[in-house]
């Protein structure tokens, strides 16, 4: 059994019988709430059927109220969701040394490692992840899975393609709820017309191993996503919680085949602050491990700036943010973390 002060490898967390000090969080009672019981009032983010005739309003309300929702009838096949989940499981089940062969380099985002936001927290998080941000995953897959390389690359490609389609569909619908269309946003219009790729995205496979003391551990600490929106597939194990001012931490119960969508910081900017970018986190479990697959959609490719949609900015709602590209925003986020939106805020005269 590892001693409390031993330097622990994140690839073996699931085998630990005690919670090392470096992974022990000081949480208040309100903060330590674990799934499935969440907020005192049992509530959760809305589940929206994408084939509902009222889908635009439903999405708009969910974005305004929660900055998050779940979607059914999204068109992504269950077999693809199962495939990407089992790919993740196959990877995380490997011995630590094998996983480390896919370790992310110092500078790069892609690869295996602890959550990138770990930098901003004193205590370590009870999770490991594989980030697929560019084509370098192909080399990593070749090293890890020389025989099944083509199959696994195919699953990732297909998943990316499906998520990209779904993300653009959600963008159109959500814009509709703001009374605008893709034609009101230069980059969105261009990508739709030319049918060029919507561009930048990151897939993050997350694994939360079983934990001897889930009450005092944190799978993934509270954060907002930096992208436009995130589409998350969670396995049948709960753990995701979203924060709502009036209710505190609210658990997002997994529903088979249903995907979770989070509004990210860039959509908050696009909506000129109308949609909150939801603060969320992941808790862990004593007896069951959990996998989640996050597709973080950054929006337009290249150095395209995102700014509040001019049509919704007016005398009653002055422009709150300056234009920013996703890559610039990411740089700011990884300097100042939860102050990133403030850092690009525009100070408006008070009258
Ligand atoms: O695992 C989860 O439920 C949340 C994952 C997440 O928030 C992320 O990858 O950004
Ligand atoms: Fe997230």
- Looking at residue 40, its pLDDT comes to 46
* pLDDT of 36 higher than 80: no
ipTM: 0.99
Minimal-distance CA residue to ligand 1 atom 3: 240
Strand partners, 248: 244
Q: How far apart are CA 179 and CA 113, in angstroms?
A: 41
Quote the ligand 1 centre to 292 CA distance (angstroms): 7
Mean pLDDT of the chain: 90
For residue range 140-158, what is the model confidence (pLDDT) as tens digits? 899 999 999 999 999 999 9
Quote the ligand 2 centre to 159 CA distance (angstroms): 18
- Looking at residue 193, its pLDDT comes to 61
Q: Which of 114, 119, 123, 126 is nearest to 218 (CA)?
A: 126
Residue 10 lies in a domain: no
Minimal-distance CA residue to ligand 1 atom 8: 294
Quote the ligand 1 centre to 337 CA distance (angstroms): 16
* pLDDT of 316 higher than 70: no
- First-last CA distance in the chain: 64
Quote the ligand 2 centre to 235 CA distance (angstroms): 15
Residue 351 lies in a domain: no
Measured in residues, the chain has a length of 351
- Looking at residue 317, its pLDDT comes to 76
Residue 33 lies in a domain: no
Quote the ligand 1 centre to 184 CA distance (angstroms): 31
Residue 9 lies in a domain: no
Question: How many Cβ atoms sit within 10 Å of the Cβ of residue 337?
Answer: 14
Residues touching ligand 1 (Cβ under 6 Å) are 204, 206, 220, 225, 232, 234, 239-240, 280, 282, 292, 294
Q: How remote is the C-alpha of 210 from its chain's centroid?
A: 21
Minimal-distance CA residue to ligand 1 atom 6: 294
Dihedral-angle region of residue 263 (phi above 0 means left; psi in -120 to 50 means alpha; beta otherwise): beta
- Looking at residue 300, its pLDDT comes to 79
Minimal-distance CA residue to ligand 1 atom 9: 294
Task: Check which CATH number belongs to the domain holding 315 and give it.
Answer: 2.60.120.330
Per the structure, the complete domain to which residue 103 belongs is given by 41-181+195-344
Structure tokens at 338: 């939860």
Q: How sure is the predictor about 292, in pLDDT bands with cuts at 50, 70 and 90?
A: very high
Q: Which atom of ligand 1 lies nearest, measured to the CA of 115?
A: 9
Q: Which of 113-117, 229-233, 246-250 has the lowest mean pLDDT?
A: 246-250
Q: Which atom of ligand 1 lies nearest, measured to the CA of 260?
A: 3
Q: Which atom of ligand 1 lies nearest, measured to the CA of 280?
A: 7
Q: Are 184 and 190 in contact (CB under 8 A)?
A: no
Residue 35 lies in a domain: no
* pLDDT of 347 higher than 90: no
Q: Are 29 and 46 in contact (CB under 8 A)?
A: no
Span 107-129, average pLDDT: 93
**329 vs 136, higher pLDDT:** 329
Q: Which of 4-18, 128-142, 243-257 has the lowest mean pLDDT?
A: 4-18
Span 75-83, average pLDDT: 98
- Looking at residue 1, its pLDDT comes to 42
* pLDDT of 38 higher than 70: no
* pLDDT of 3 higher than 80: no
Q: Which atom of ligand 1 lies nearest, measured to the CA of 223?
A: 7
* pLDDT of 41 higher than 90: no
Residue 190 lies in a domain: no
Residue 11 lies in a domain: no
Clarify whether 290 is annotated catalytic: yes
Minimal-distance CA residue to ligand 1 atom 1: 292
Residue 55 lies in a domain: yes
Q: How many domains does the chain have?
A: 1
- Looking at residue 349, its pLDDT comes to 62
Span 15-30, average pLDDT: 92
Query: Quick one: three-class SS letters along the chain?
Result: CCCCCCCCCHHHHHHCCCCCHHHCCCCCCCCCCCCCCCCCCCCCCCEEECCCCCHHHHHHHHHHHCCEEEEECCCCCHHHHHHHHHHHHHHHCCCHHHHHCCECCCCCCCEEECCHHHHHCCCCCCCEEEEECCCCHHHHHHHHCCCCHHHHHHHHHHHHHHHHHHHHHHHHHHHHHCCCCHHHCHHHHHHHHHCCCCCEEEEEEEEECCCCCHHHCCCEEEECCCCCEEEEEECCCCCEEEEECCCEEEECCCCCCCEEEEECHHHHHHCCCCCCCCCEEECCCCCCCEEEEEEEEEECCCCCCECCCHHHCCCCCCCCECCECHHHHHHHHHHHHHHHHHHCECCCCCC
């Amino acid at each position: 059994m590892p001693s409390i002060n031993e330097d622990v490898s994140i690839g073996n967390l699931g085998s630990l019988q005690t919670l090392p000090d470096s992974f022990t969080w000081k949480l208040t009672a309100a903060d330590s709430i674990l799934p499935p019981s969440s907020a005192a009032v049992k509530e959760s983010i809305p589940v929206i059927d994408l084939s509902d005739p009222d889908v635009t309003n439903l999405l708009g309300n969910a974005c305004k109220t929660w900055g998050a929702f779940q979607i059914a009838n999204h068109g992504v096949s269950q077999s693809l969701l199962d495939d990407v989940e089992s790919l993740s499981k196959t990877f995380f089940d490997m011995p630590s040394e094998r996983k480390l062969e896919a370790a992310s380099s110092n500078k790069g985002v892609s690869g295996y490692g602890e959550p990138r936001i770990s930098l901003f927290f004193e205590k370590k998080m009870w999770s490991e992840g594989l980030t697929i941000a560019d084509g370098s995953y192909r080399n990593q897959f070749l090293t890890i899975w020389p025989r099944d390389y083509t199959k696994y690359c195919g699953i990732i490609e297909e998943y990316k393609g499906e998520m990209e389609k779904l993300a653009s569909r959600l963008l159109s619908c959500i814009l509709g709820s703001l009374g605008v269309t893709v034609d009101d946003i230069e980059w969105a219009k261009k990508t739709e017309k030319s049918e060029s790729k919507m561009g930048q995205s990151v897939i993050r496979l997350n694994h939360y191993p079983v934990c001897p003391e889930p009450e005092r551990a944190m799978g993934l600490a509270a954060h907002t996503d930096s992208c436009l929106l995130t589409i998350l597939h969670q396995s049948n194990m709960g753990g995701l919680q979203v924060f709502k001012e009036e209710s505190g931490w609210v658990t997002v119960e997994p529903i088979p085949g249903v995907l979770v969508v989070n509004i990210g910081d860039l959509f908050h900017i696009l909506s000129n602050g109308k949609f909150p970018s939801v603060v969320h986190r992941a808790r862990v479990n004593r007896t069951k491990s959990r996998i989640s697959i996050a597709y973080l959609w950054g929006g337009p490719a290249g150095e395209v700036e995102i700014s509040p949609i001019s049509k919704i900015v007016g005398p009653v709602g002055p422009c709150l943010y300056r234009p920013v590209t996703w890559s610039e925003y990411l740089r700011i986020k990884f300097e100042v973390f939860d102050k990133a939106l403030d850092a690009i805020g525009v100070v408006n005269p008070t009258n």
